[in-house]
């Protein structure tokens, strides 16, 4: 195991040096000037988890993301907890906060009430999603409520004001969709309803994202499609989560991470290397915004951003801008 640890340390250092040289050769002053980033968190379940989230926020604040987002419970099951979490982040984190809002099984009055609560907290950005079925709920819930599809939720939010509205996208097909074309049609409907940006489900096969993006653009999607990046903190947990949302895990990843949950230091180095290379390839293919699913942890996201050069935006005065 010590030999394996040393090998992966060397691999990570080689990745860092290769990316550093790539940035130095780039005519762009800083990659941060052309690549935006955002971080996603979820509401803590108890006070101990809330304190851990506070520490994560403090650690990630120095990276100056363009915005952060806070998830929302399906069917309003954790609406109060979500609202408290958004208030906490808005108070502690010096960047704009996007509140997730779901509509499954909700009346228009419930949606408007939740929207009002977030607006009262100063929120002007939203992530509009249909939402998943709550645990134990029957599928009939999908046919109840005033907004049965996410594009209807987008319309409801858009009618209330000039908000920035993000929506979901699924490069490997939503589990309930018949095919990718159906997902692209749904994306077009959300765009027509007033969405500004799509953020994808996490994925590990970059080629699938690039094909999906090209197909969507060819079909008429004009809003940015932002890739969702999930650093792997626990591979077995990631594999279970991926199976529920239709995200595939390539065979090479299964082999690479096999047994590494018992060697967390090695796993974290491997996870950092894999995610960094994925982000670098996305950027090379024209991606201008990365959305990180942090799982309320800072270590891997910080390492990935530092290696890529996605730190704080450079402060430049007018003289340095003229020289550039």
Taking alpha carbons only, the member of 14, 67, 84, 29 closest to residue 315 is: 29
Active-site residue, from 14, 40, 80, 117:
40
CA 252 to CA 135: how far, in whole Å?
A: 33
- φ, ψ of residue 207 to 5 degrees: the values are -60, -35
CA 260 to CA 240: how far, in whole Å?
A: 16
- φ, ψ of residue 97 to 5 degrees: the values are -115, 130
Taking alpha carbons only, the member of 273, 183, 187 closest to residue 222 is: 187
Reduce the DSSP state of residue 167 to 3 states and report it. strand
Q: What tokens appear for 61 in the block?
A: 């604040």
Reduce the DSSP state of residue 293 to 3 states and report it. strand
Residue with tokens 């195991």: 1
Report the interhelical angle of 47-61 vs 299-308 (nearest 10°): 10
End-to-end CA distance of the chain: 48
Catalytic residue flag (residue 40): yes
CA 235 to CA 227: how far, in whole Å?
A: 20
For the annotated catalytic residues, the residue numbers are 40
């Amino acid at each position: 195991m010590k030999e394996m640890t040393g090998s992966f340390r060397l691999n990570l250092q080689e990745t860092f040096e290769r990316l550093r040289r790539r940035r130095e050769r780039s005519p762009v002053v800083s990659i941060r000037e052309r690549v935006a980033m955002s971080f996603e968190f979820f509401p803590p379940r108890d006070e101990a988890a809330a304190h851990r989230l506070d520490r994560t926020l403090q650690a990630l604040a120095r990276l100056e993301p363009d915005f952060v987002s806070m998830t929302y419970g399906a069917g309003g099951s954790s609406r109060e907890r979500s609202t408290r979490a958004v208030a906490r982040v808005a108070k502690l984190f010096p960047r704009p906060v996007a509140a997730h809002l779901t509509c499954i099984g909700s009346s228009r009055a419930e949606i408007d009430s939740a929207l009002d609560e977030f607006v009262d907290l100063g929120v002007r950005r939203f992530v509009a999603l249909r939402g998943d079925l709550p645990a134990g709920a029957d599928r009939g819930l999908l046919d109840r409520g005033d907004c049965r599809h996410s594009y209807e939720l987008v319309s409801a939010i858009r009618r209330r004001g000039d908000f920035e509205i993000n929506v979901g996208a699924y490069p490997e097909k939503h589990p309930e969709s018949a095919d990718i074309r159906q997902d692209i049609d749904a994306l077009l409907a959300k765009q027509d309803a007033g969405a500004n940006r799509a953020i994808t489900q996490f994925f590990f096969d970059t080629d699938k994202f690039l094909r999906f993006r090209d197909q969507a653009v060819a079909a008429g999607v004009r809003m940015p499609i932002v890739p969702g990046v999930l650093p792997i903190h626990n591979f077995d947990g990631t594999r279970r989560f991926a199976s529920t949302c239709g995200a595939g895990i390539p065979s090479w990843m299964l082999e690479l991470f096999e047994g590494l949950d018992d060697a967390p230091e090695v796993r974290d180095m491997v996870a950092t290397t894999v995610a960094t290379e994925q982000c670098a390839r996305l950027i090379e293919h024209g991606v201008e915004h990365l959305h990180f699913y942090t799982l309320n942890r800072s270590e891997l996201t910080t390492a990935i951003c530092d290696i890529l050069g996605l730190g704080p935006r450079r402060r430049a005065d007018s003289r340095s801008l003229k020289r550039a």
